[in-house]
Amino acid sequence: MKKYTFDKGGIHPPDHKELTRNLPVETMPLPDELWVSMAQHFGAPATPLVKRKDRVGEGDLIGAVEKGLGANVHSPASGEVVAIASVPHPILGKVPAVVIKVDHSAPPKDYEARPWDGLSPQELLGRIKEAGIVGMGGAGFPTHIKLNPPPQAKVDTLIINGAECESYLTADHRLMVEHPEEVVEGVAIIMKILGVARAYIGVELNKPEAIEALEQAVKKSARQITVAPLEVKYPQGSEKQLIQAITGRRVPGGGLPADVGCVVQNVGTTWAIYQAVVLGKNLYERILTVSGRGVKRPANLLCRVGVRVADIVDYLGGLSEETVKFILGGPMMGFAMADLSAPVTKTTSGVTFLSRKEADLSNYGPCIRCGRCLAVCPMGLSPNEISIYMEKGRFEDTPRFGLLDCFECGCCAFICPSKRPLVQFIRTAKMKLRQKAMATKKG
Ligand code: SF4
Ligand code: SF4
């Protein structure tokens, strides 16, 4: 069997997926309140379209972005708007949110499949935009924009990212095992939008049941779709590495996948596209993994957007006394948080609770110039230099070590024998450069 992989750097962290990989997705019951963030996508937060005391139905539009990049936000349940408040956000601090008191007596909304073959690519894109779909595996880039590359890009290949190489997370794995035909229909919809004849679904070899389920589903499709087994290596699921692994093409520094004729979509986003186009369902729930030895009952949950992490913890029986760290996402690329009132958003692929044994809380030391971080960096960057310059307060010097090509995979920090928080240095350097650019613009 051919194994696809990228050639530069990478690591093999313990995956801890045994905690949840065999657990079927269960539906998280609706809590009494949903805190629906208006910042669930790349770009400025959406503007709430509702006010206190308004009644909302499941799937109703409650937030929109008028200008610039963004995506619609829909009510995840029927109920009454009780406040426009703020909720914790991993990057922006606090962001506006619509608080909905759930009406538990309202019947769930029914959806029926309908044919989509007669729709044009523009009509399909319009439906995706209306449904508020964003990239569900990362920063939440609006999908209707990503699927509309400039004509000069000459896109010929679609790649679906089912790698799920982040430790602990098994949400995409369960989705591919439990809904393979819907995923494949989603792939066919995207192929029609892009006008491409070829698509690959990349899945790491540690998910044999997902590979098998997708292969069976692909056999029933008239499209040219290949399930591409990927070597188990982190970060196999990052866009540039996945493109190189499957097609051999290299996205240039500062470039985009479309520059080498590719578009990459996460498998969860592909399922959301299926639901939007075939069922007419807006995006207001997702599958996520709750894991780590810090949570009493790890699980894969189908969870409405706006459910707070504290509600999930209650549902899963609480946290163990040994819990020392809570991360939105997985330990490699996720964001450590302090506040359990943070809500699930469209981009929450998981919530990880680490016990004392799993989290390394030791202090970091000076760089000993061992070079290990350089060897594992899949982008060939110099994270050691970035950290040294940041310690000296010289953030303006960091771009020459590749700062802006860093996609914060965490390989360097994982391997560093001095436990240096290299990704934190990198994120701070990027933030300071952004602040400086904004101040210059204003001045
Ligand atoms: S976090 Fe950035 S610098 Fe570190 S290994 Fe990943 S891409 Fe390289
Ligand atoms: S791995 Fe750590 S100690 Fe080694 S060169 Fe990189 S930053 Fe320095």
User: Which CATH number does the domain housing residue 145 bear?
Assistant: 3.40.50.11540
One domain, residues 274 and 376: no
> Is residue 441 scored above 90 in pLDDT?
no
| pLDDT value at residue 41 | 85
Report the separation in Å between the CA atom of 183 and the middle of ligand 1, taken as the mean of its atom positions.
31
Average pLDDT over residues 320-337: 93
Report the separation in Å between the CA atom of 65 and the middle of ligand 1, taken as the mean of its atom positions.
32
Pocket residue to mutate for ligand 1, from 423, 424, 425, most atoms within 8 A of Cβ:
423
Is 305 contained in some domain?
no
One domain, residues 255 and 386: no
pLDDT tens for each residue of 370-403? 999 999 999 999 999 999 999 999 999 999 999 9
Rounded to whole angstroms, how far apart are CA atoms 40 and 305?
10
The whole-chain average pLDDT of the chain stands at: 95
Residue numbers belonging to the annotated binding site for [4Fe-4S] cluster: 367, 370, 373, 377, 406, 409, 412, 416
Rounded to whole angstroms, how far apart are CA atoms 266 and 277?
17
Single residue among 279, 298, 325 that ends a domain in this structure: 279
| H or E segment to which residue 93 belongs | strand 93-102
| Amino acid at residue number 253 | G
Are 190 and 155 spatial neighbours (Cβ–Cβ below 8 Å)?
Answer: no
Is 394 contained in some domain?
yes
Which residues 6+ apart lie within 8 Å of 386 measured at CB? 398, 401, 402, 403, 406, 422, 425, 426, 429
* Ligand 1 atom 4, closest CA: 412
Q: Which ligand 1 atom is at minimum distance from the Cα of 376?
A: 5
* Sign (positive or negative) of CA dihedral 111, 117, 120, 125: positive
> Is residue 181 scored above 70 in pLDDT?
yes
For residue 368 and ligand 2, the question of a CB distance below 6 A is answered with: yes
| pLDDT value at residue 212 | 98
Is 145 contained in some domain?
yes
| pLDDT value at residue 285 | 98
Q: Which ligand 1 atom is at minimum distance from the Cα of 405?
A: 7
One domain, residues 144 and 251: yes
Average pLDDT over residues 92-99: 92
Ligand nearest to the CA of 418: 2
For residue 391 and ligand 2, the question of a CB distance below 6 A is answered with: no
Is 94 contained in some domain?
no
Ligand nearest to the CA of 9: 1
Residue numbers belonging to the annotated binding site: 367, 370, 373, 377, 406, 409, 412, 416
More confident position, 139 or 134: 134
* Ligand 1 atom 1, closest CA: 408
Average pLDDT over residues 224-250: 96
Rounded to whole angstroms, how far apart are CA atoms 142 and 111?
24
One domain, residues 257 and 377: no
Are 188 and 223 spatial neighbours (Cβ–Cβ below 8 Å)?
Answer: yes
| pLDDT value at residue 42 | 82
* CA angle, 293 then 296 then 301, to 5°: 95
Is 429 contained in some domain?
yes
Pocket residues: Cβ below 6 A from ligand 1: 377, 379, 381, 383, 406-412, 422-423, 426
* Ligand 1 atom 2, closest CA: 406
Is 240 contained in some domain?
yes
Average pLDDT over residues 97-119: 97
Pocket residue to mutate for ligand 2, from 11, 369, 401, most atoms within 8 A of Cβ:
369
Number of domains composing the chain: 2
Ligand nearest to the CA of 384: 2
| pLDDT value at residue 280 | 97
Kindly report which listed range (17-31, 121-135, 355-369) carries the lowest average pLDDT score: 355-369
One domain, residues 255 and 119: yes
Average pLDDT over residues 191-219: 97
More confident position, 41 or 302: 302
Single residue among 249, 279, 309 that ends a domain in this structure: 279
One domain, residues 264 and 376: no
Average pLDDT over residues 90-99: 89
* Ligand 1 atom 7, closest CA: 406
Helix (H, G, I), strand (E, B) or coil at 397: helix
Is 106 contained in some domain?
no
| pLDDT value at residue 443 | 65
Is 284 contained in some domain?
no
Percent of the chain with pLDDT over 70: 100
pLDDT bin (cut points 50, 70, 90) of residue 123 is: very high
Rounded to whole angstroms, how far apart are CA atoms 298 and 81?
31
Report the separation in Å between the CA atom of 204 and the middle of ligand 1, taken as the mean of its atom positions.
21
One domain, residues 275 and 389: no
Domain residues for 177? 17-21+112-279
Pocket residue to mutate for ligand 1, from 408, 425, 428, most atoms within 8 A of Cβ:
408
Rounded to whole angstroms, how far apart are CA atoms 248 and 242?
9
One domain, residues 272 and 387: no
Percent of the chain with pLDDT over 90: 89
pLDDT tens for each residue of 395-429? 999 999 999 999 999 999 999 999 999 999 999 99
Ligand nearest to the CA of 410: 1
Single residue among 235, 262, 279 that ends a domain in this structure: 279
Burial, 174: exposed, middle or buried (Cβ in 10 Å; 0-12, 13-18, 19+)?
Answer: buried
Are 387 and 369 spatial neighbours (Cβ–Cβ below 8 Å)?
Answer: no
